[in-house]
Amino acid sequence: MKRLLTTAAALAMMTPAAYADGHQNFTIGVSNTVQGNGWREQMICAMRAQAAMEGDVGQLIVAHRNTDAAGQLEDLNNLIEAGVDAIVLNPANPDALNSALDAAIAAGIVVVAVDAGVTAEGAYILSNNQEEYAYLGARWLFEQIGGEGEVVYMRGIAGVSADTDRDNGFQRALAEFPGVTIVHEVFTGWQQDQGKQQMFDFLATGIPFDGVWTSGIDNVIVDAFVESGAPLVPIVGADNAGFVQYLSEVEGLIGAAVTNPGSVGGAGIALAVDILNGNAPAETTVLVDPVLWENTTEEGRAIIAGAQNPDLDPEWPVSVSIPGWTDYSMEQIIACEG
């Protein structure tokens, strides 16, 4: 799908903004609404690293802050005003950004949403398969507790399409296990401190439960159990470095990590460049399928051991690249330059 444009075709598409060495001189804008979350920080670093690897990217303008859909609309309009050639965004809402996205597309700006979908006609979506992410983990958890019992359901941000998709997957698994019920449901905001405190608060109630499904806020949930002295229950998380390490090291922890690479950000940059060069994919939605690593089988434990990376922030996914899409090295994404 990537980099199939021939040299002759690329030269034929040259504009006055092209580099003297034959490269285009694209400006790409980035919009993200959650700051301080490890997954989102890896996403931004993947964008920077991939942009540095793309010979056709002359400038990356990054709007990266904690805000809502209204704030993201402002950021998107600023990027349009700046005259970017493409916008790669992690959307705060699938529908609320359409006025800006429609304006961008009408102006010939390529729009690529990563991690979550948008409904603007003409936008491209490159995302981890969020519904399957939740379904795989929930099904595993429900099987681990014997198909019946009560679980704590720790979600992300209400209204964000990635959370909605994950809820669809979770509910699909729940329908297959009528003996499983949700004893407690919270929105963590995908913030480590908030999720940990929510777990502390629920543990303090003394209400019994049999397992925990987390929306990528995972190693701190294990910390809450350990620090409070509560008995561990099966926990599902993402392939974040800290949680992957815990799956090998925390005695008595039964758990599974479902892959959810933040490097879709870098893949989104690569897709935007491909589209700008006339090499758009046949479909406007590209999904990256997740896999589940469990510490209850020999095969799973071997995968988990091989995936550990002490050089990564505990909140960063260990899946730092997406084959066929990203070209940067481990050192480049960690450096977060470009």
Nearest by Cα to 185 from 193, 173, 175, 195 = 195
Domain membership of residue 209 (yes or no) is: yes
Domain membership of residue 268 (yes or no) is: yes
Domain membership of residue 156 (yes or no) is: yes
What tens digit of pLDDT does each residue of 242-284 get? 999 999 999 999 999 999 999 999 999 999 999 999 999 999 9
Which CATH number belongs to the domain containing residue 72 in this structure?
3.40.50.2300
Nearest by Cα to 237 from 33, 32, 38 = 38
Domain membership of residue 173 (yes or no) is: yes
User: In sequence order, what are the beta bridge partners of 154?
Assistant: 186, 214
Q: Quick one: pLDDT at residue 24?
A: 82
Distances (CA, A) of 9 to 12, 243, 273: 5, 46, 14
Query: 116 and 145 share a domain?
Result: no
The rounded percent of the chain whose pLDDT value lies above 70 is 93
Query: 254 and 143 share a domain?
Result: yes
Query: 134 and 249 share a domain?
Result: yes
What tens digit of pLDDT does each residue of 63-116 get? 999 999 999 999 999 999 999 999 999 999 999 999 999 999 999 999 999 998
What tens digit of pLDDT does each residue of 207-249 get? 999 999 999 999 999 999 999 999 999 999 999 999 999 999 9
* Domain ranges, residue 53: 7-127+261-288+319-335
User: In sequence order, what are the beta bridge partners of 86?
Assistant: 28, 110
Domain membership of residue 211 (yes or no) is: yes
Are 154 and 213 in contact by the 8 Å Cβ rule? The answer is: yes
Query: 245 and 134 share a domain?
Result: yes
Number of domain units in the chain? 2
Residue 331, SS3 per DSSP = helix
Can you say how many angstroms the Cα of residue 153 is from the centroid of all Cα atoms in its chain?
Answer: 19
- pLDDT surpasses 50 at 1: no
Query: 134 and 234 share a domain?
Result: yes
Domain membership of residue 314 (yes or no) is: no
The rounded percent of the chain whose pLDDT value lies above 90 is 89
Query: 222 and 325 share a domain?
Result: no
Query: 235 and 269 share a domain?
Result: no
Nearest by Cα to 273 from 35, 33, 36, 50 = 50
Domain edge (last residue) among 258, 276, 309: 258
